[in-house]
C-alpha cells in the first residue's frame, strides 16, 4: 500500500444517490524539514526546574494554601523526553533515538533558554556518533486548584469526600541542532493544558500532592508528544466523493470504486466519457477520473482531470449545477495542497 494514502471505511452515499462519499488517510509532511542525514537523534535535558512556589494557586474550602504540600517538578522534563523518544521511535522515520540521562544546565537562571555551545555539541556528535540533537530548553507550568469539602453521612477521621477543580497549563521550548551547524535549525515553543473536575475520596496529601503531580506528568507527556510531532510526517483523515450516475455502466464503475478497484472504475468511466455529450455529465465523469487517479497516487493526472471537469462546468447552468461546481473547486484546492505536501514528503523521506 502506498505510504502516502491509506483507505478507510467507506461511508454511505447521499440521499439523492448521485454522490458516494468515503474517507482516506493521507500522509502530511512534518512541520519541520530536517536534513535526510539527521537519522541518529539524541534527546537532551537543558532545563532548570522552576521554583516550587512559582505559578501555583491552591485553595481548600476557600482558604489559600501557600507552602503546604510542595510539588516536585524534578522529573517532569524526563516524562516529556520519554514521550518525545517514543513518538520519534514509533514513526520509523529515524534510525536511532536515544535519551541522554544527565541534565546539562548548571546555572540558576531557570527562565532563560541557553543554547548549546559548539564544544558541547561536538562532544555528543563525535563521541556518540549522533547527527542531530533535540534539546528541551525550558519546561514551565502554572497550576490553579480549588478543593471543596463535601458533606457526607459517613464520618471518617482520615478520608474526606471533596470536589477537586484542577487545571494545569504548560509550555515546552525545544531546539533542534544538526551536525555541521552551530546554531539551532529551529527553536519553538508549544503550549497545552490538562484539567479535571471530579469528586475524590482522600486526604489532603491526595488532593494537593498526588493528584497535581500525576496531572503534571500527564501534561508533560502531552507537551512532549506535540513537540515530537513537529519532526515526523503524520496521517490525517480526509473526505472524498465521486458521482455514481444512474445507468448500468456508471453503477458498475461505482461498485468497483467502492471496492477500491480504481483501475477498473477508471476504465469504465473513460468509456462513458467518450459516449456523453452533455457538459454536466462530462464534468462529473472527469471529476471521477480525477479521484480514481488520486487514489492510484497519480496526483498530477488527477489535477488535470479536475481542471477538465471545471472547464466543462463553465458550459452548464450555474444555478442547477452549483453543487458540482462547489465540489470541483474544493477538490482542486485539496489536490493542489496534496501535490505540495507530497513534494515536501519526498524531500523529507529522501526520495529523489
Say how far apart CA 28 and CA 36 lie, in whole Å: 17
Orientation angle between helical segments 248-258 and 279-295, nearest 10 degrees? 20
pLDDT at 16: 39
pLDDT at 8: 47
- Whether the CB-CB separation of 52 and 109 falls below 8 Å is answered with no
Task: Sort strands 234-243 and 132-149 into parallel, antiparallel or unpaired.
Answer: unpaired
Say how far apart CA 115 and CA 131 lie, in whole Å: 17
Which residues, in sequence order, are bridge partners of residue 169? 142, 193
List Cβ neighbours of 269 (8 Å cut-off, separation of 6 or more).
250, 253, 285, 288, 289, 292
pLDDT at 352: 64
pLDDT at 13: 40
Say how far apart CA 346 and CA 47 lie, in whole Å: 34
Say how far apart CA 22 and CA 8 lie, in whole Å: 8
List Cβ neighbours of 304 (8 Å cut-off, separation of 6 or more).
290
Say how far apart CA 94 and CA 36 lie, in whole Å: 9
Report helix, strand or coil for 335. Answer: helix
CATH number of 242-349: 1.25.40.10
What stretch(es) of the chain map to CATH 1.25.40.10? 242-349
> Residue 150, exposed/middle/buried by CB under 10 A (0-12, 13-18, 19+)?
exposed
Which residues, in sequence order, are bridge partners of residue 241? 21
Grid cell listed for 51: 521554583
Q: Count CB atoms within 10 A of the CB of residue 306.
A: 25
The pTM (predicted TM-score) of the whole model is 0.84
pLDDT at 351: 84
Predicted confidence pLDDT, tens digits, the chain (352 residues)? 344 555 443 443 433 348 999 999 999 999 999 999 999 999 999 999 998 888 999 999 999 987 678 898 989 999 999 999 999 999 999 999 999 999 998 888 888 889 999 999 999 998 778 999 999 999 999 999 999 988 765 555 566 889 999 999 999 999 999 999 999 999 999 999 999 999 999 888 999 999 999 999 999 999 999 999 999 999 999 999 999 988 999 999 999 999 999 999 999 999 999 998 899 999 999 999 999 999 999 999 999 999 999 999 998 877 777 888 999 999 999 999 999 999 999 999 988 6
Say how far apart CA 352 and CA 188 lie, in whole Å: 29
Question: What are the start-end ranges of the E strands in the chain?
Answer: 5-13, 19-28, 40-45, 56-60, 63-65, 96-99, 132-149, 160-178, 186-202, 234-243
Contacts 24+ apart (CB under 8 A), 270-273: 272/245, 272/247
CATH number of 40-232: 3.30.160
What stretch(es) of the chain map to CATH 3.30.160? 40-232
Amino acid at each position: 500500500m502506498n505510504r502516502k494514502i491509506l483507505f478507510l471505511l467507506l461511508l454511505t452515499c447521499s440521499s439523492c444517490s448521485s454522490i458516494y462519499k468515503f474517507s482516506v488517510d493521507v500522509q502530511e509532511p512534518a512541520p519541520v524539514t530536517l536534513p535526510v542525514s539527521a537519522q541518529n537523534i539524541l534527546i537532551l535535558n537543558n532545563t532548570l526546574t522552576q521554583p516550587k512556589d512559582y505559578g501555583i494557586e491552591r485553595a481548600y474550602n476557600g482558604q489559600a494554601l501557600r507552602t503546604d504540600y510542595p510539588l516536585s517538578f524534578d522529573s517532569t522534563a524526563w516524562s516529556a523526553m520519554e514521550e518525545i523518544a517514543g513518538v520519534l521511535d514509533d514513526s520509523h522515520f529515524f534510525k536511532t533515538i536515544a535519551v541522554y540521562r544527565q541534565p546539562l544546565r548548571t546555572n540558576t537562571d531557570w527562565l532563560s533558554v541557553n543554547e548549546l555551545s559548539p564544544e558541547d555539541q561536538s562532544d555528543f556528535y563525535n563521541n556518540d556518533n549522533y547527527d542531530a540533537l533535540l534539546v528541551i530548553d525550558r519546561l514551565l507550568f502554572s497550576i490553579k486548584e480549588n478543593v471543596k469539602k463535601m458533606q457526607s453521612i459517613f464520618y471518617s477521621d482520615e478520608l474526606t469526600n471533596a470536589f477537586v477543580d484542577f487545571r494545569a497549563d504548560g509550555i515546552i521550548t525545544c531546539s533542534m541542532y544538526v551536525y555541521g551547524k552551530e546554531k539551532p535549525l529551529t527553536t519553538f515553543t508549544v503550549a497545552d493544558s490538562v484539567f479535571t473536575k471530579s469528586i475524590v475520596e482522600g486526604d489532603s496529601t491526595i488532593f494537593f500532592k498526588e493528584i497535581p503531580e500525576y496531572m503534571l506528568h500527564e501534561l508533560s507527556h502531552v507537551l512532549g508528544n506535540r513537540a515530537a510531532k513537529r519532526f515526523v510526517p503524520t496521517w490525517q483523515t480526509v473526505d472524498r466523493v465521486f458521482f455514481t450516475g444512474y445507468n448500468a455502466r456508471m453503477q458498475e464503475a461505482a461498485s468497483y470504486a467502492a471496492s477500491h478497484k480504481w483501475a477498473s472504475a477508471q476504465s469504465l468511466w473513460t468509456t462513458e466519457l467518450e459516449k456523453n455529450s452533455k457538459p454536466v455529465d462530462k464534468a462529473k465523469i472527469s471529476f471521477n477520473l480525477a479521484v480514481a487517479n488520486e487514489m492510484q497516487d497519480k496526483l498530477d493526472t488527477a489535477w488535470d482531470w479536475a481542471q477538465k471537469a471545471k472547464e466543462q462546468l463553465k458550459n452548464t447552468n450555474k444555478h442547477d449545477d452549483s453543487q458540482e461546481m462547489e465540489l470541483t473547486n474544493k477538490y482542486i484546492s485539496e489536490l493542489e495542497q496534496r501535490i505540495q505536501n507530497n513534494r515536501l514528503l519526498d524531500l523529507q523521506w529522501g526520495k529523489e
